[in-house]
Chain A
Amino acid sequence: MTTDASQTITRIAEIIINELKLEDVTPESFEPDLDLVDEVGIDSMDLATIALVLRDEYGIRIDEDDYPKLTTVRIIAEYIDTKLAEKE
């Protein structure tokens, strides 16, 4: 994993923790492959909230149709990287 990818994962974890007010976890200890729906209990409204913050942070639009695919922090990071690459 590159430093950039690792930083993206940590930053996304931080956004999720802050937006959802998750307790007893830090961006560094957040398991990037933890299933956000099955394990953390995130729903589509949570994802919409997170998507707005990610849009502002990275300047990308996350399609609502893509929400079901965004099941882990690592997958979200890869999704953002792909979107950023498409912009370049």
Chain B
Amino acid sequence: MKTVSSLLDAHWYERYKRISRLNIRSSIYDVTDRCNLRCKGCFFFSSGEHERAAEEKDIDKWHAFVEKEMDRGVNLAILIGGEPTLCMDRIEAFYKHLPTFCATNGLIKVDRDRFPDMMVGLSLWGDAEDETTLRGQDTFKVTSANYEGDPHAYYLYTITPKQLGKTEKIIQKIENVGLKVHMQLLSNDEDVNGFSWQEDELVAIREEMDGMLDAYPGTVISSKYYHQVITTGEMLGRRFGWNECPSVTISRDNRDPQPKRLTNFIRWASDLKTVHRCCTSETRDCSTCKDGAAHMSWVMVNKRAHIKTAKDLQNWTEVYEMFAKLYQFIPW
């Protein structure tokens, strides 16, 4: 039988042991149905999820809900929306009780006196031209001013096909404001012309992402295996899709056979009652989904499948480390 220590040398074994018992149990929460931007390609609005549930407005109910989530074993709250920072009191309901990550467009600054160490993920969809095309404005000017040098914030850089050959400029300007960056790929849920990935573009962007990781290792939080998995949609000869996705809400998961999945994962709507099918839009074709967190989690939940060769297990360890850094379970 292959064991971990039979595959890894002392350096890698220590890295593996640092993350092997973290036992992260995340769920995702729509904090609000509203946003102060309307980005073309945003799955939340394009799929009508903002109309699925009426927001719970009683803050006491949010606090009670978070306590129930803790009883369910959740130890990482991932807040999305809508734009969570429109409802700081709801963010606080999570932050007071749980390790909390807040995905935001960054236009409203999180008050660091109120949320001193909450990890903030700042969405960025490319250079000024793409940002203006897709989001109506270049958010970087505002967000970089709001968060310059913040050790608990990083950019979630959603790369579009239009960004081929341009990623270095983006990485450099993020480095220049003293922030980290994690790269993911646009899924183009609204079929915006020219923003859907072609096979040759995916090959090219993988190479470019690898190059950015090599050139900016202190700024880019990523791994080459993650780049491989997200651009090819394949892992260990298996293809990503509905039958493999780990980020399906547990009560909506009727798959048989049951794949490896996130334990007790739920994506909650903002009424605190309704659940969504998965971490992204129900209208999205799973076979072409490029959701970064879902692909990361896909690797992470399939640990034993990676205990075959030293390289496989090193790849798994790097992806897990990446996730643990992005959600503050281990330091940068």
Chain A residues in the interface with B (C-beta under 8 A):
20, 22-25, 30, 34, 37-46, 48, 64, 68
Are B303 and A43 neighbours in the complex by a CB distance under 8 Å? yes
Are A39 and B263 neighbours in the complex by a CB distance under 8 Å? no
Chain B residues in the interface with A (C-beta under 8 A):
1-5, 16-17, 20-21, 23, 73, 260-261, 263, 301, 303-304, 306-307
Closest approach, in angstroms, between the C-beta of B311 and any C-beta of chain A?
A: 15
Closest approach, in angstroms, between the C-beta of B261 and any C-beta of chain A?
A: 7
Taken together as a complex, chains A and B put the C-alpha atoms of A45 and B23 apart, in Å, by 10
Taken together as a complex, chains A and B put the C-alpha atoms of A20 and B260 apart, in Å, by 12
Q: Inside 8 A of B73's CB, which chain A residues have their CB?
A: 64
Closest approach, in angstroms, between the C-beta of A70 and any C-beta of chain B?
A: 13
Are A37 and B20 neighbours in the complex by a CB distance under 8 Å? yes
Q: Inside 8 A of B5's CB, which chain A residues have their CB?
A: 38-39
Are B3 and A40 neighbours in the complex by a CB distance under 8 Å? yes
A-B contact count (CB 8 A): 47
Q: A37-B20, A38-B17 are in contact. Are A43 and B301 (CB under 8 A)?
A: yes
Q: Inside 8 A of B4's CB, which chain A residues have their CB?
A: 38-41
Q: A24-B1, A40-B3 are in contact. Are A68 and B304 (CB under 8 A)?
A: no
Which of A24, A43, A46 interacts with B2 by CB under 8 Å? A24
Q: Inside 8 A of A30's CB, which chain B residues have their CB?
A: 1
Taken together as a complex, chains A and B put the C-alpha atoms of A43 and B261 apart, in Å, by 11
- Among B1, B23, B306, B307, the one with the most A-chain Cβ atoms within 10 Å of its Cβ is B1
Taken together as a complex, chains A and B put the C-alpha atoms of A37 and B2 apart, in Å, by 13
Cβ-closest chain A residue relative to B1:
A25
Closest approach, in angstroms, between the C-beta of B157 and any C-beta of chain A?
A: 30
Taken together as a complex, chains A and B put the C-alpha atoms of A37 and B5 apart, in Å, by 12
Q: Inside 8 A of A68's CB, which chain B residues have their CB?
A: 21, 23
Cβ-closest chain A residue relative to B300:
A43
Q: A41-B303, A45-B263 are in contact. Are A34 and B3 (CB under 8 A)?
A: yes
Q: Inside 8 A of B263's CB, which chain A residues have their CB?
A: 44-45, 48
Q: Inside 8 A of B304's CB, which chain A residues have their CB?
A: 20, 40-43, 46
**Interchain Cβ contacts under 8 Å between A and B, 29 examples:** A20-B304, A22-B1, A23-B1, A23-B2, A24-B1, A24-B2, A37-B20, A37-B21, A38-B4, A38-B5, A38-B16, A38-B17, A38-B20, A39-B3, A39-B4, A40-B3, A40-B4, A40-B307, A41-B20, A41-B303, A41-B306, A42-B304, A43-B301, A44-B23, A45-B260, A45-B261, A64-B73, A68-B21, A68-B23
Closest approach, in angstroms, between the C-beta of B234 and any C-beta of chain A?
A: 21
Taken together as a complex, chains A and B put the C-alpha atoms of A34 and B17 apart, in Å, by 15
Are A45 and B2 neighbours in the complex by a CB distance under 8 Å? no
